[in-house]
Structure 1
């Protein structure tokens, strides 16, 4: 298992964390009672 040899700086940690995000889901238009909603 990989073990860090040195303490990671706060800026490096936050930079790495900021990159790890969920992709936005694709919205599909749905018509309800004649009104189009993006769901």
Structure 2
């Protein structure tokens, strides 16, 4: 019962915060691009 409630809380968190998740992905992508451009290495 507790495992099911934790799973539901995790899915609710992802459903209620899609913009935050997308922002984290885009921020990491831009950081990786800048990092590779400055170091001239493949990420």
TM range (shorter): 0.3 to 0.5
TM value normalised by structure 2: 0.33
TM value normalised by structure 1: 0.35
Q: Which has the larger radius of gyration?
A: 1
Higher relative contact order (CA 8 A, sep 6+): 1
